[in-house]
Amino acid sequence: MGSIPVWQVVFLCGFFLWTVISSVLNVTQKIRSLTQPWVSRHVISGTSLILQIQKYHGGCLDAFFSGLSYVVSVPFYTAFLPLLFWSGHGKLARQMTLLMAFCDYLGNCLKDVVSAPRPSCPPVRRVTATKDEKENAMEYGLPSSHTLNTVCLSGYLLHYVMTYTQNSDASMQFAGFAAVCLFVGLIGLGRIYLGMHSLVDIIGGLALGLAILAFWLNVHEYIDNFVVSGENVTSFWAALSLLLLFGYPTPEFPTPSFEYHTAFNGVALGIVSGIQQTYHQFHHNNVPRIFTSQLTIPAFVGRMLVGIPTILLVKFCSKALAKWSLPILANTLGIPIKSTSYIPALIASNSGKKSDETRQPGYLQKLFFFSRQASFDVDTGIRLLQYGGLAWSVVDLVPSLFSHLSL
């Protein structure tokens, strides 16, 4: 094993130090006290605009905007990204995965720091056609994650297509840019129409998305080079993943945002560790790509028929293994644990406890070794390993099966 690069140690130590300092100084509460009243006033004042837009509601518009919202939701991307890896566009797939994880972390952090409400329902009519939308409605409002993710991922996709095709035609570039702008605009309008967000949430998501996209376009090549050929990649990313779990702000009241972050954090870890191990076998620039003679449509369909059941099986097994092993490991180390949903025995043993257990833990409480009284929610570790295993199978196990089956 080679030596650990100094910059990795400095980065991880700096992030850990920031987590501790921000907890001691109550940075989250101070930012919230400054921003929450201002955002809440704009949410209330924006209700009239939402009601005006919703005057034109109807079954067709409900279905259109609900479907459009699903196309840019985290569950859709989670299902779509494996297909992108298996299509041969590995660089695009891993960049969109890491960009999605980055957007998810920053967006959800901002939601829980500000803890600003969504539009009040009633009088606003809220349309939650799917289970995912019902869970989204339990999160805070600012910024709109759908708007944020759409700006970043569609913007990066446009950049990749123009670079990959080496298209310098100004009219094609303008058409692509106009299509992205139209798509982002429809997503923002749809979130207001569905009663999920106010105008200030959309503007916040748009502004944050443009800032993240501009940053990512300047660093994505460095990140990709590190992932495929860097030193100490898996260990560094595993440490970073743990710090990102602990360095997450405490919302005013518990929301699903931290669970979403944990899941995609695990996805990023699984993708990075798998790519780092198998890049030269399955993910280099000369792999067969879809719509070529090397990877025909029937062969790609065969990949889906083999790959999708395999990753679902791995997800199930990863969850079962984590549910069995993590409580044993915690008990061996003397770490007090609880479970909010995954392990019935631990749910029952903690159901009678009140006080701080009902709130999401703070920065230092998440670092359970700072407080022996604080129980560590084992569901977080289970969720991280579950989605990490799923993502690893997408880029390591399943391509190995493709190779053996000549797909």
Scored b (16 or more CB within 10 A) or e, 306-329 reads bbbebbeebbeebbeebbeebbee
User: Catalytic one among 89, 197, 220, 283?
Assistant: 197
CA distances in angstroms from 212 to 117, 151, 343, listed in the order given? 24, 9, 37
Strands 337-338 and 376-377, by their bridges, are parallel
Coil, strand or helix: which one is 295?
strand
Distance of CA 20 to the CA centre of its chain: 24
Beta-carbon count within 10 A of 364 CB: 17
Closest CA to 206 of 137, 136, 154, 144: 144
- For the record, the structure tokens of 188 come out as 């923002």
CA distances in angstroms from 9 to 3, 219, 241, 313, listed in the order given? 11, 20, 14, 36
Scored b (16 or more CB within 10 A) or e, 78-106 reads beebbbbbbbbbbbbbbbbbbbbbbbbbb
Q: Residues 274, 397, 104, 247: is their CA dihedral positive or negative? A: negative
User: Catalytic one among 146, 220, 261, 283?
Assistant: 146
Closest CA to 74 of 156, 147, 149, 130: 149
d(CA 41, CA 86): 47
Work out the burial of residue 225: count CB atoms within 10 Å of its CB; fewer than 13 is exposed, 13-18 middle, 19 or more buried.
Answer: exposed
Contacts of 333 (CB under 8 A, 6+ apart): none
Phi, psi of 396 (to 5 degrees): -125, -65
- DSSP code for 377: E
Is 146 noted as a catalytic residue in this protein? yes
Residue with tokens 């493709």: 402
d(CA 134, CA 127): 9
Give residue 351's identity as a one-letter amino acid code. Answer: S
Is 261 noted as a catalytic residue in this protein? no
Catalytic annotation, residues: 146, 197
